[in-house]
Amino acid sequence: MRLPKPRGVLSEWVVSRLADARPSAAAAPAADAWDDESLALWTLHELSYRGFEDADERAEWDPEVLHVRHRLETALEERLRSRWEQAGPVSVGVPSEVPSALEALVAEDDGPSLADHVRRRADRDQVLELLRQRSVYHLKESDPVAWVVPRLPVRAKAALMELQYDEYGDGDPNRLHSHLFARGLDAIGLRSEYGAYVDDALPETLEMNNAVSLFGLHRRLRGAAMGHLAAFEMTSSLPSRKMVQGLERLDLGGPMAAYYDEHVEADAIHEHLAARDICGTLAEDEPEQADEILFGAFTCLDLETRFATVLLASWEA
């Protein structure tokens, strides 16, 4: 993957700073807009995943670069927490209530459903647009979650590995979820290289990706990372089935439908592992993480709602 096309003065600074390892003459400017800011942070996070062919690898741990990353992550975390505050955060009295509190949070979520639209009404261009946006995450599906493994107590760690083993194809590279998605993209004529559609990504898409990277990269946010995972898995199997129906309705079945089909079954299992064996035991072992788990779950649902709202509005759907 190559460095993305800048969207303002800050992402311009980041892109040129990463392309050239020397300390910059000018300090990083303030972002022009949210679009610019979210692309800048996405680019900095990406250094810890697969990197860029045209960036200096040492930039990942360069203090000047880290300083900018820290500034942007702080602003992102404040945005996410203030949305949770506005929504009226729930708190659990006893850690053992975490799985049912997660269920309640998911059940109360009344955001618009992209999968419903795909199943019934979306046209081909809309589905392709949705898949390009989704590709930013699905091509690295589960990777930010993997960072959390060493930070968990015994039971949550074992449960997360049980889940991740399945996400990563149960040892078979052909069944790795991100690989299944790449095969799906190829089959419907989209580009499948890692990061192919970043230049088309909406700021809402980048913010979703930045949130999981933030949660995954910081040990302090392990509870939020696991709560996010639980909400993600708990809202996956039924919508995945609708995606399969919509893709087949539009003659886009085959490998892309197979990707979603895999998630119908897999996530019906994973949601229980995530809510009970991961989040439930983490909250028991580290009770101060209980409310953080709910914050992470809310963030997942909230960011999906914002993304779906913007996309549906742009389609006048």
Partner 1 sequence: MPERDYDHPDVVICPDGPLLLRNATSVQDADGVVHDVRRPVVALCRCEKSSRLPWCDGTHKVIPRG
Kindly tell me which residue out of 81, 83, 155, 157 binds partner 1, with binding defined by CB under 8 A.
Answer: 155
Is residue 114 a contact point for partner 1 (CB under 8 A)?
Answer: no
Establish if 170 lies at the interface with partner 1 (CB under 8 A): yes
Cβ 83 to partner 1 shortest distance, Å: 25
Stretch that binds partner 1, among 90-98, 131-139, 155-163, 296-304 (CB under 8 A): 155-163
- Report how far residue 316's alpha carbon sits from residue 186's, in angstroms, rounded to the nearest whole number: 28
Residue 146 or residue 269: which is nearer to partner 1 going by CB? 269
Tokens read off for 187: 């089959």
By beta-carbon proximity to partner 1, the closer residue of 142 and 209 is 142
Nearest distance in Å: CB 227, partner 1: 19
Q: Identify the residue whose tokens are 């639980």.
A: 230
Smallest separation, CB 266 to partner 1 (Å): 7
Structure-block tokens of residue 37: 């800011």
The minimum distance between CB 302 and partner 1, in angstroms, equals: 20
Query: Could you give the string, one character per residue 241-280, with x where binding to partner 1 holds by CB under 8 A and - elsewhere?
Result: x----------------------xxxxxx-xxx--x----
Map the footprint of partner 1 across residues 36-65, applying CB under 8 A: none
Q: Are 92 and 294 in contact (CB under 8 A)?
A: yes
Q: Give the nearer residue to partner 1 in terms of CB position, either 267 or 291.
A: 267
117 vs 127: CA distance, rounded Å = 9
37, 166, 292, 304: which one binds partner 1 (CB under 8 A) = 166
**What residues contact residue 288 under an 8 Å CB cut-off, 6+ apart?**
none
Q: Does 162 bind partner 1 (CB under 8 A)?
A: yes
> What is the C-alpha to C-alpha distance for residues 104 and 110, in angstroms, rounded to an integer?
12
Report in angstroms how near the CB of residue 264 gets to partner 1 at its nearest.
5
For residue 242, CA distances in Å to 83, 117, 238, 265, 269 come to 29, 9, 7, 13, 18
Mark the segment that binds partner 1 (CB under 8 A) among 16-24, 49-57, 152-160, 199-207: 152-160
**Nearer to partner 1 (CB atom), residue 268 or residue 310:** 268
Paired tokens of 43: 């680019």
Angle at the Cα of 264 from the Cα atoms of 258 and 269, rounded to 5 degrees: 130
Report how far apart the first and last C-alpha atoms of the chain are (Å, whole number): 33
Q: How far apart are CA 298 and CA 89, in angstroms?
A: 9
- CB within 8 Å of 75: residues ≥ 6 apart: 37
Give residues 210-239 in contact with partner 1 (rule: CB under 8 A).
237-238
Tell me which residues touch partner 1 (CB under 8 A): 154-155, 158, 162, 165-166, 170, 175, 237-238, 241, 264-269, 271-273, 276
